[in-house]
């Protein structure tokens, strides 16, 4: 597949915005990304719109993108709505890359937009439960006072601790790193740094996860402009883009095989990464994922977290945006927002959280669950490799 480029990328502020419509969020991200890319809207030949929860939370299904962009610059374009749970907008990016690589257009836009905050908070948890087989007892019996995914993440954290000796303190240090990064990101939902002690002392959600280790409910949007031609200014190339589903394929664990596929496309190895955005819906997941991606050896990630080596100025900068737990996790927007952060890093415009001389970046985004065994299996995983070009 031909190399494609990111010509523009933008994210809205993430947070809870009761008075802001999905249209406003999506439009703001699209307008900023198009301006960043300096492309004309009429040259955009394909739009993939990632949104995961509207059909449950607001009730609007089937044509979310066409409605959200109806009065904007991309109205009337070739457009599909993509759902792939929490990986919806990274899946949208995957399709935008495919559209450009196929020669079916020279410019494509991937949008991720989500509005999860609602006067009835339970609606968000209900929606998240739809990313698991709804006939599963975990979903059927859910109280809707927490996301059912937090049960899965807590289970994973306990297994990881048992297998590697990871301590709950290490999880708190990982969370502290993400919150520190979030404090440096003007678009993060939470902009307050917390000590590991404060994180441990925050309200217990499900042992060992405390409130400040968990991603919040929120709203936001992000957009990425993909082009065939190399942009004249600060070009970023997409050199690998993999998307796989859970269960029944060769190659082992989902995140491991998806990362290997993307790195193979790019002709790179995991240790080449200068900066990584990964799917820390809960802080301990960041450590598990780093190991599943092959970035560090099994049992190493929690020690790196304790040592502060995941900070933007550390050895393996992870989630410089603040990640899902601090930047926030409006699910359909998350995958695209990760890529926006990495583009900002590769273009040296990440401000106070800039990783020095970042050349290669990897985004990992996952969603849903097709098996609930321990370890559970996500329904979908995407991995994208980006390089300064």
Residues that bind a copy of itself (CB under 8 A): 1-2, 42, 52-53, 55-56, 58-64, 66-67, 70, 75-85, 88, 91, 94-95, 98-99, 101-104, 127, 130-134, 242-250, 367-368, 370, 379-380
Q: Tell me the C-alpha distance between 261 and 94, whole Å.
A: 13
Residue 225 or 287: the one with the smaller Cβ distance to a copy of itself is: 225
Instruction: Please give the distance of CA 126 from its chain centroid, rounded to a whole number.
Output: 20
Give min distance, CB of 77 to a copy of itself, in A: 6
Q: Which residues of 253-270 are buried (b: 16+ CB within 10 A; e: fewer)?
A: ebbbbbbbbbbebbebeb
Give min distance, CB of 357 to a copy of itself, in A: 31
3-state secondary structure (DSSP) of residue 70: coil
Catalytic site residue 94? no
Strand residues in 284-372 grouped as ranges (E): 360-367
Residue 119 or 186: the one with the smaller Cβ distance to a copy of itself is: 119
Q: Tell me the C-alpha distance between 255 and 128, whole Å.
A: 20
Residue 200 or 243: the one with the smaller Cβ distance to a copy of itself is: 243
DSSP character string of 225-294: EEESSPPSSS-EEEEEEEEEESSS-SSSSHHHHHHHHHHHHHT--GGG-SEEE---SBHHHHHHHHHHTT
Give min distance, CB of 261 to a copy of itself, in A: 9
Residue 69 or 213: the one with the smaller Cβ distance to a copy of itself is: 69
Catalytic pick among 86, 94, 118, 181 = 86
Residue 74 or 301: the one with the smaller Cβ distance to a copy of itself is: 74
Q: Tell me the C-alpha distance between 7 and 96, whole Å.
A: 13
Token pair belonging to 105? 């257009």
Residue 6 or 304: the one with the smaller Cβ distance to a copy of itself is: 6
Residue 57 or 350: the one with the smaller Cβ distance to a copy of itself is: 57
Q: Tell me the C-alpha distance between 35 and 33, whole Å.
A: 5
Question: Among all chains, which residue has been given the structure tokens 């699209």?
Answer: 30
The answer to whether 310 and 174 have CB atoms below 8 angstroms apart is: yes
Q: Tell me the C-alpha distance between 364 and 345, whole Å.
A: 16
Give min distance, CB of 304 to a copy of itself, in A: 31
Token pair belonging to 305? 């977290």
Catalytic pick among 179, 181, 194, 329 = 329
DSSP character string of 188-235: -S------HHHHHHSPEEETTEEGGGBPPP-EEEEEEEEESSPPSSS-
Residues, the chain: 389
Give min distance, CB of 130 to a copy of itself, in A: 4
Give min distance, CB of 352 to a copy of itself, in A: 35
Give min distance, CB of 169 to a copy of itself, in A: 34
Catalytic site residue 381? no
Neighbours of 100 (CB within 10 A): 26
Q: Which residues are catalytic?
A: 86, 329
């Amino acid at each position: 597949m031909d190399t494609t480029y990111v010509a523009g990328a933008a994210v809205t502020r993430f947070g809870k915005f009761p008075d802001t419509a999905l249209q406003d969020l999506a439009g703001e991200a699209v307008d900023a990304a198009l301006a960043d890319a300096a492309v004309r809207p009429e040259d955009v030949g394909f739009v993939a719109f990632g949104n995961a929860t509207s059909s449950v939370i607001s009730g609007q299904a089937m044509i979310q993108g066409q409605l959200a962009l109806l009065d904007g610059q991309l109205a009337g374009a070739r457009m599909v709505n993509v759902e792939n749970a929490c990986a919806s907008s990274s899946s949208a990016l995957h399709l935008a890359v495919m559209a450009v690589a196929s020669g079916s257009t020279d410019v494509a836009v991937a949008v991720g937009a989500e509005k999860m905050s609602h006067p009835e908070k339970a609606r968000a948890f209900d929606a998240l439960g739809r990313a698991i087989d709804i006939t599963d007892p975990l979903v059927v019996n859910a109280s809707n006072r927490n996301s059912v995914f937090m049960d899965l993440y807590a289970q994973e954290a306990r297994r990881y601790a048992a297998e590697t000796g990871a301590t709950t303190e290490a999880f708190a240090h990982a969370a502290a790193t993400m919150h520190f990064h979030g404090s440096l990101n003007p678009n993060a939902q939470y902009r307050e740094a917390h000590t590991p002690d404060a994180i441990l002392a925050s309200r217990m959600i499900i042992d060992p996860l405390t409130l400040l280790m968990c991603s919040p409910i929120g709203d936001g949007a992000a957009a990425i402009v993909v082009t065939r031609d190399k942009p004249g200014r600060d070009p970023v190339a997409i050199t690998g883009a993999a998307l796989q589903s859970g269960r029944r394929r060769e190659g082992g664990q989902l995140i491991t095989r998806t990362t290997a596929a993307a790195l193979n496309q790019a002709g790179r190895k995991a240790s080449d990464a200068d900066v990584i955005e990964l799917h820390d819906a809960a802080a301990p997941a960041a450590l598990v994922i780093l190991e599943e991606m092959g970035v560090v050896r099994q049992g190493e990630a929690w020690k790196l977290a304790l040592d502060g080596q995941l900070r933007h100025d550390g050895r393996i900068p992870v989630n410089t945006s603040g990640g899902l737990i601090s930047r926030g996790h409006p699910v359909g927007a998350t995958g695209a927002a990760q890529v926006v952060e990495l583009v900002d890093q590769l273009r040296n415009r990440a401000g106070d959280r800039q990783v020095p001389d970042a050349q290669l970046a990897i985004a990992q985004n996952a969603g849903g669950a097709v098996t609930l065994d321990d370890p559970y299996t996500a329904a979908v995983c995407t991995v994208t490799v980006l390089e300064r070009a």
